[in-house]
Each structure stands twice: as structure tokens, then as C-alpha cells.
Chains A and B, each alone.
Chain A
Amino acid sequence: MISAVMVALLVTMVLALLRAFLGPDRYNRILAINMFGTKTVLFVAVAGFLFGRPDFLDIGILYALVNFVATIAVLRLSHYEELVSGRSGGAGE
């Protein structure tokens, strides 16, 4: 069963990767990469059980953390550039 989950996760990762490549805009890419990140968290957890090393889960916690920080950073800093150069992004200001 666990190997089936592993295959499902890998397929999902590839699908998310395709969306990240296709875009078409920045938000679609951020979304796909964020989702890829949570899939790698699951991947590490499942791989730990599958290959008999479940003591590696600290890494999963770390992945979840850095994934969140990176997503927030992209949103914050990519906006920031537009606003500094005066190309403010439209609705809801």
C-alpha cells in the first residue's frame, strides 16, 4: 500500500511540475511550486516508512517550514518590486 502511495505522490509531483512549467502567469507557478513543496514533505515521510528509516521525519518538518517561508517571500518580495518601481498592481488598493 505504501509503495502505491509513493507512486501516487510521484505522479502528483510530476503533474504539479508540469503546471509550474506551463504557467502561464506567476501565480499559477507559485501555486504549483507550493503544492510541489507539500508533496515533497509527504514524499519524505512516505519514503521513511517505505525504505525502513522512519527516523528521518525531522526533515519533513523542515521542508514544511521552508516551503511556507519561501511562498511568503515570493508573494511579499515580488509585489514589493512592482510597488517600488511604481507599477502598482491594480484592484483593491
Chain B
Amino acid sequence: MIVVDVMSGVLLGAGALFALSGGAGLLRFPDFYTRIHAAGVTDTAGAGLILLGLMLQVSSWETGVRLLIILLFLAMTSPTAAHVLAHAARRDGVPVWREGDERR
């Protein structure tokens, strides 16, 4: 079982790292479109890895199925929400940051 524990730990650690870096990116990146990228990382890679890591630690199949449902749900909704957000911002004329611009 130690192999499973190590794998789970690695997945959880990687997920936590993605979540943290995405959070830092959301705060530090210069404009809205780059921040979508940062938020997207936490919602897909971060969430996916953490949920997979938890899935290796489940004691009953019911918990595993629920984790899987959450994973599938997030995998479908987060990119959709991010896409629609970016699309709406583009329609509203939110300007794109170029190198040398002010941070917004």
C-alpha cells in the first residue's frame, strides 16, 4: 500500500503547487486575460491532481464515485466558464495587455 500512499502524496503535492502558483498568478499577472490563464491552471490541473490524489485514499467506492463526479463536473464547467468569461470580456472591449503597458 505504500506505493499508493506515495503516489497519492505526489499527486496531492503537485495539485497544491498548481493551486498556489495559480493563486499567485491571479494576483500578480498584469491583465484580465493572463489572469484567466492562471485561474484556469488551478481549476483544471490543480483541482484534477488534488481530486486524483484523494481518490487513491478512498476507503469505500461510494466516496470514489463522488470524487469522480466532482472531477468530471469541474472538468466540464470550469473551462466553459473561463471561455465564456474571456469571450464576454473580449466583446466588451477589455483591452489586451502588451509588453510595456501599465499593469491593470
Contact = CB atoms under 8 A, between A and B. Distances in A.
Direct contact of A and B (CB under 8 A): yes
Interface string A3-33: 0110011011111101100001101101110
A8 B24 CA distance: 11
A42 B51 contact: yes
B90 to A, nearest CB: 7
Given A45-B54, A54-B58, A57-B63, A31 B39 contact: yes
B70 A61 contact: yes
A13 B19 CA distance: 9
B29 to A, nearest CB: 10
Contacts of B13: 1, 4-5
A92 interface: yes
Interface string A33-67: 01100110110011001000011011011001101
Contacts of B82: 31, 34
A39 B81 contact: no
